[in-house]
């Protein structure tokens, strides 16, 4: 199972683009990369998932280089409401198993006015 | 929309009590999860169930048991609560199938959490 490393915390300002990088040096061939967002006093919610190159949805973009040893979650023009903890998960989640589900400590993103 | 509900938002129990945390999902999901969340430790998986009466241990199953008698309901049981089980408990569910145009696998839907305090 690929271990992930993320920054503990990040700060930014409203209107800026924020990039959060996750390192996963021993990612396996069948592993997918999934990001979740958690607001205070709420459960996490899914943001985006990808396998390679770039994935974009209405919330964020996910950039995955060719070697897949890292990934970057990009949040365009953040607002105060993007203040949250962001988790990067790496694993072969096509076939559910407890051994493939590790959230880790996440990155605490603080957005200032 | 998927809805995952948990029986209590806040719960206070005494050491040695038997505690039941209930979770119900309304989307016919096969998978259900129980996590605990502690400051600085993120989310840690306690137990996972992939079908009725089927379960798999997560990273920290000691001191906990689970029950899944019906597909929509997954219960976490603390047989004899201890103070080190004071924590936020989160339930989630997912379907192993692919969803949406971006082929998302196993998106987990979380409940609001139960903050348990053991005195």
Distances (CA, A) of A107 to A2, A8, A38: 18, 5, 10
A→B interface, C-beta within 8 Å:
32, 36, 41-46, 49, 55, 57, 87, 93-98, 101-106
| 3-state secondary structure at position B59 | coil
CB contacts < 8 A, A to B, total 71
Q: Could you say which of A43, A87, A104 has the minimum Cβ distance to residue B92?
A: A43
Q: State yes or no: pLDDT of B93 exceeds 80.
A: yes
Neighboring chain A residues of B88 at a CB cutoff of 8 Å? none
pLDDT of residue A107: 96
In a domain, B116, yes or no: no
Phi and psi for B29 in degrees, rounded to 5? -75, 140
pLDDT band at A98, cuts 50/70/90?
low
Query: Residue B112 domain-assigned?
Result: no
Judging contacts by C-beta atoms under 8 Å, the chain A residues touching residue B43 are 44, 87, 103-104
Shortest Cα–Cα distance, A21 to chain B (Å): 17
Mean pLDDT for A45-71 is 94
Q: Domain of B62: which CATH number?
A: 2.60.40.10
* Inter-chain touch A98–B47, beta carbons under 8 Å: yes
Q: How confident is the model at residue A102 (pLDDT cuts 50, 70, 90)?
A: confident
Closest Cα of chain B to A92: distance in Å? 9
Give B5's strand partners. B24
Would you say B76 and B34 are in contact if contact means Cβ atoms under 8 Å apart?
A: yes
Query: pLDDT tens for residues A5-38?
Result: 999 999 999 999 999 999 999 898 988 999 999 9
Across the interface, do B42 and A98 touch by the CB < 8 Å criterion? no
- Which domains occur in chain A, in start order? 9-112 (2.60.40.10)
Q: Pick the residue from chain B with its C-alpha nearest to A96.
A: B96
Number of domains in chain B: 1
Q: Are strands B104-105 and B73-78 parallel, antiparallel or unpaired?
A: unpaired
Q: What is the pLDDT of residues B19-64, one digit of tens each?
A: 999 999 998 999 999 999 998 888 899 999 999 999 999 989 999 9
Distances (CA, A) of B109 to B23, B92, B113: 12, 5, 12
**Cα→Cα distances B114→A38, B23, B91, Å:** 15, 10, 9
Nearest to B57 among A44, A95, A98 (CB): A98
- Scanning B14-74, the segments in alpha helix (DSSP H) are none
For residue B50, what are the domain limits? Answer: 4-97
Q: Is the pLDDT of residue B101 over 90?
A: no
């Amino acid at each position: 199972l690929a271990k992930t490393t993320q920054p503990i915390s990040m700060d930014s300002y409203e209107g800026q683009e924020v990039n959060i990088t996750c390192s996963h040096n021993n990612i396996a061939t069948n592993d997918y990369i999934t990001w979740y967002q958690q607001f205070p006093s709420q459960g996490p919610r899914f943001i985006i998932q990808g396998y390679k190159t770039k994935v974009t949805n209405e919330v964020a973009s996910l950039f995955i280089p060719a070697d897949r040893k890292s990934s970057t979650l990009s949040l365009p023009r953040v607002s105060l409401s993007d203040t949250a903890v962001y988790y990067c998960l790496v694993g072969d989640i096509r076939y559910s198993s407890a051994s493939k589900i590790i959230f880790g400590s996440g990155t605490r993103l603080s957005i200032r006015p | 929309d998927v809805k995952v509900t948990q029986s209590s938002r806040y719960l206070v129990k005494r050491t040695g009590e038997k505690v039941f945390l209930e979770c119900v999902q309304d989307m016919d999901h096969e998978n259900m999860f129980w996590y605990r969340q502690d400051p600085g430790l993120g989310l840690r998986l306690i137990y996972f169930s992939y079908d009725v009466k089927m379960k798999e241990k997560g990273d920290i199953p000691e001191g906990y048991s689970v029950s899944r008698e019906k597909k929509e309901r997954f219960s976490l049981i603390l047989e004899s609560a201890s103070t080190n089980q004071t924590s936020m408990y989160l339930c989630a569910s997912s379907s192993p199938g692919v969803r949406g145009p971006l082929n998302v696998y196993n998106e987990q839907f979380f409940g609001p959490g139960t903050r348990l305090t053991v005195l």
